Amino acid sequence: MNKINCDQQFEPLMEDVEDNLGIRMNYAPRDEHVPAAECNNRTISEQIRVTCHSLPYKAMPKTMLRHLAMISV
């Protein structure tokens, strides 16, 4: 069984993931940062930023940005 470290802020969203995929959530106490989650967020945002800057477009539709985020994750 896999374990995901996350904040309590996203607990309602993660109930479906926990039930459907057999993943155990490790919720951090309120007002405490989860270093693994923070690092993951920085890595994903950095990947999105690099990809956006390498594209030849000046603007990006929201749909394209959503798919870029899914690919980066």
Per-residue pLDDT of the chain (73 residues; tens, 9 = 90+): 677 777 777 777 777 766 667 777 777 777 777 777 788 888 989 999 999 889 898 888 999 988 988 888 8
Tell me if 60 sits within 8 A of 29, measured CB to CB: no
Alpha helices in 1-73 (DSSP H): 11-21, 35-54, 62-72
**Residue whose C-alpha is closest to residue 27's, from 52, 17, 66, 50:** 17
Q: Provide the sign of the torsion angle of the four alpha carbons 49, 55, 59, 64, taken in this order.
A: negative
Domain ranges of the chain: 1-32, 40-73
Angstrom distance (rounded) from CA 41 to CA 24:
19
